[in-house]
C-alpha cells in the first residue's frame, strides 16, 4: 500500500506525461497549468506525515524539557537543604544532617544530570530519526524524478532520430527529383 505522498508524486508524473504540451520549437520545455500543479504541490505539503511534525515539535520544545529537568533538580536540592536546616539543632545531629544532606544533594545532582542527559539523548534521537525519515522520502522522490527524466530523454532522442531520418529521406527524394527533371529537359524521357 503506497502512501498518499507517493500517490501525489505519481499524479504529478502522470499530469506531466499526459496533459502537458511542449513549448513551440522545444523538445525539453513543457507548458503546465500552474493552478493544477500548485494544487498538487499544496496537497503534497499538507500530507507531510504527522510524525515529522511531532518530531519537530519535540525538538522545538527541547529547551522546555531541559528547563523542566533543571527545575526538578533545583526542587530536589532545595528539599535537601530544608531537611539539612531541620537537622542542625545539636552538634551530633548536625553532623548527621550534613552527611545526609550531602548524600541527598549528590543523589539529586546525579538524578538531575541523568534527567538532563536522557532528555538530550531523546531529543537528539528524535531529531536524527526525523532527518533520516525526511531523507528517505527525498531519496524516493529523487529516484522517481530521475527515472522520469531518463524516460523522457530516451523518448526525445527517439523523436529527434525519427525526424532526422524523415528529413534525410525528403532531402534525398528532392535531390532525385531534381536530377530527373534535369534529365527530362535534355530530351530524355522522365521515367
> In order along the chain (191 residues), what is the average pLDDT of each group of 10 residues?
80 90 90 91 79 70 84 90 76 81 92 94 90 85 81 87 93 91 59 52
Given this model, what pLDDT does residue 105 score? 92
Distance from first CA to last CA of the chain, Å, rounded? 67
Name the nearest CA neighbour of 54 among 1, 120, 117, 122: 122
Task: Specify whether the CB–CB gap between 40 and 11 falls below 8 A.
Answer: yes
Given this model, what pLDDT does residue 89 score? 67
Q: Where are the beta strands (DSSP E) in the chain?
A: 21-22, 30-31
Given this model, what pLDDT does residue 141 score? 74
The rounded Cα 95 to chain-centroid distance in angstroms is 61
pTM: 0.34
113 to each of 65, 73, 116, 126, how far by Cα in Å?
Answer: 13, 8, 5, 20
Tracing cell 534529365 back to the chain, one arrives at 183
Task: Specify whether the CB–CB gap between 9 and 141 falls below 8 A.
Answer: yes
Given this model, what pLDDT does residue 54 score? 61
Residue 130: count other Cβ atoms within 10 Å of its Cβ: 19
Amino acid at each position: 500500500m503506497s502512501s498518499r505522498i507517493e500517490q501525489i508524486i505519481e499524479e504529478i508524473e502522470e499530469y506531466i506525461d499526459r496533459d502537458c504540451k511542449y513549448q513551440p520549437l522545444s523538445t525539453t520545455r513543457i507548458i503546465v497549468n500552474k493552478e493544477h500543479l500548485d494544487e498538487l504541490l499544496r496537497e503534497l505539503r499538507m500530507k507531510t506525515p504527522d510524525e515529522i511534525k511531532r518530531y519537530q515539535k519535540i525538538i522545538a520544545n527541547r529547551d522546555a524539557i531541559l528547563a523542566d529537568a533543571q527545575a526538578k533538580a533545583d526542587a530536589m536540592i532545595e528539599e535537601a537543604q530544608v531537611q539539612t536546616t531541620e537537622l542542625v539543632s545539636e552538634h551530633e545531629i548536625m553532623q548527621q544532617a550534613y552527611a545526609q544532606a550531602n548524600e541527598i544533594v549528590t543523589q539529586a545532582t546525579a538524578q538531575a544530570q541523568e534527567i538532563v542527559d536522557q532528555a538530550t539523548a531523546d531529543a537528539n534521537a528524535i531529531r536524527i530519526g526525523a532527518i533520516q525519515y525526511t531523507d528517505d522520502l527525498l531519496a524516493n522522490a529523487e529516484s522517481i524524478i530521475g527515472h522520469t527524466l531518463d524516460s523522457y530523454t530516451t523518448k526525445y532522442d527517439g523523436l529527434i532520430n525519427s525526424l532526422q531520418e524523415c528529413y534525410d529521406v525528403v532531402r534525398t527524394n528532392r535531390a532525385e527529383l531534381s536530377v530527373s527533371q534535369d534529365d527530362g529537359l535534355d530530351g530524355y524521357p522522365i521515367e
